[in-house]
Amino acid sequence: MTRTLKGHGRTIRRIEYSPDGNWICSAGCDKTVRIWITEHGVCQHILDHPDEVNCIAYSPCGDQVASACDDKKIRLWDPATANCRQILSGHEDIVECVVYSPKGNGIVSGSADFTVRLWNAITGECNHIFNGHSGWVWSITISPQGDQIASSSYDKTIRLWDVESGSCHHILEGHHEAVLGVLYSLKGDQVISGSDDSTVRVWDVQSGSCLHALTGHTRGVYCIASSPKGDMVASGSFDNTVRLWDVSALGSGHISNGHTKEVTNVNCSPKGNMIASCSEDSTIRLWDVETGACERTLSGHSDTVFGVAFSPRGDQIGSGGYDNTVRLWDVDAGICQRILAGHSELVWSIAYSPQGDQVASASNDKTIRLWNATTEERHGILNGHTDAVMCVTYSPDGGLLATGSMDCTVRLWSVTAMTCNSILIGHSDFVYDVVFSPREDQCASASCDSTVRLWNLATGQSCFTLLGHTDGVVRIAFSHKGDLLASGSWDKTLRLWDVATGQC
Report, as ranges of residue numbers, the positions in the chain whose pLDDT lies below 70: 1-3, 198-200, 212-238, 240-256
Of the candidates 437, 462, 440, 439, the residue with the CA atom closest to the CA atom of residue 452: 462
User: Which residues are CB-contacts of 68 (< 8 A; sequence separation ≥ 6)?
Assistant: 53, 54, 55, 56, 74, 75, 95, 96, 97, 98, 109
What percent helix, strand, coil does the chain show, rounded to 5? 0, 55, 45
Element (H, E) at 163: none
Rg (CA), the chain: 24
Strand partners, 150: 141, 160
pLDDT at 256: 62
Q: How far apart are the C-alpha atoms of 115 and 135, rounded to whole Å? A: 9
The Cα angle at residue 377 between residues 375 and 382, in degrees rounded to 5? 140
**Amino acid (one-letter) located at 425:** I
User: Which residues are CB-contacts of 385 (< 8 A; sequence separation ≥ 6)?
Assistant: 366, 367, 403, 405, 407, 409, 411
pLDDT at 224: 46
Q: How far apart are the C-alpha atoms of 481 and 479, rounded to whole Å? A: 5
pLDDT at 3: 65
Got the DSSP string for 384-410? --SS-EEEEEE-TTSSEEEEEETTSEE
User: Which residues are CB-contacts of 198 (< 8 A; sequence separation ≥ 6)?
Assistant: 491, 492
The 3-state secondary structure of 242-292 reads EEEEECCCCEEEEEECCCCCCEEEEEECCCCCEEEEEECCCEEEEEECCCC
Got the DSSP string for 468-489? --SS-EEEEEE-TTSSEEEEEE
pLDDT at 267: 82
Q: How far apart are the C-alpha atoms of 136 and 133, rounded to whole Å? A: 8
Neighbours of 375 (CB within 10 A): 9
Is 84 within 8 Å of 122 (Cβ atoms)?
A: no
Q: How far apart are the C-alpha atoms of 90 and 125, rounded to whole Å? A: 10
Positive/negative CA dihedral, 473, 475, 478, 484: negative
> What are the backbone dihedrals phi and psi of residue 71, each rounded to the nearest 5 degrees, phi first?
-85, 10
